[in-house]
């Protein structure tokens, strides 16, 4: 019962998730920064949510990154809201 008071119900769509995260900026944080960066709707009406830690992104920009790795999965994705793909980008910075 305490969880329901503090955590919103699971949204049924990614657009609804974006609206919840837009309204509650402090819900998801990374190093005291907003981890949720926005909801993107493409030309086909498909919704995508983007998460990134601004502090890490700034370090990459300032220090340069020599490696970028991308990984996409169709098998392990959130069931609620219904998702089709999880796409992750990893950057190597100072051998980490």
- Cβ neighbours, 10 Å, residue 59: 15
Q: What is the pLDDT of residue 7?
A: 72
Local confidence pLDDT in tens for the 96 residues of the chain: 566 677 768 899 999 999 988 988 778 888 888 899 999 999 999 899 999 888 888 887 787 776 788 999 988 888 888 888 889 888 777 776
Interstrand relation of 29-30 and 86-92 (parallel, antiparallel or unpaired) = unpaired
Q: What is the pLDDT of residue 15?
A: 92
Q: What is the pLDDT of residue 59?
A: 80
CA distance 40 to 44: 11
Dihedral angle sign, alpha carbons of residues 82, 21, 48, 52: negative
């Amino acid at each position: 019962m305490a969880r329901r008071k503090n955590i919103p119900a699971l949204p049924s769509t990614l657009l609804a998730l974006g609206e919840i995260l837009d309204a509650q900026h402090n819900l998801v944080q990374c190093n005291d920064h907003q981890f949720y960066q926005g909801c993107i709707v493409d030309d086909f009406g498909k919704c995508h949510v983007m998460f990134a830690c601004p502090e890490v992104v700034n370090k990459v920009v300032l220090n340069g990154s020599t490696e970028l790795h991308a990984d996409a999965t169709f098998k392990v994705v959130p069931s609620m809201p219904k998702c089709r793909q999880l796409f992750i980008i990893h950057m190597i910075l100072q051998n980490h």
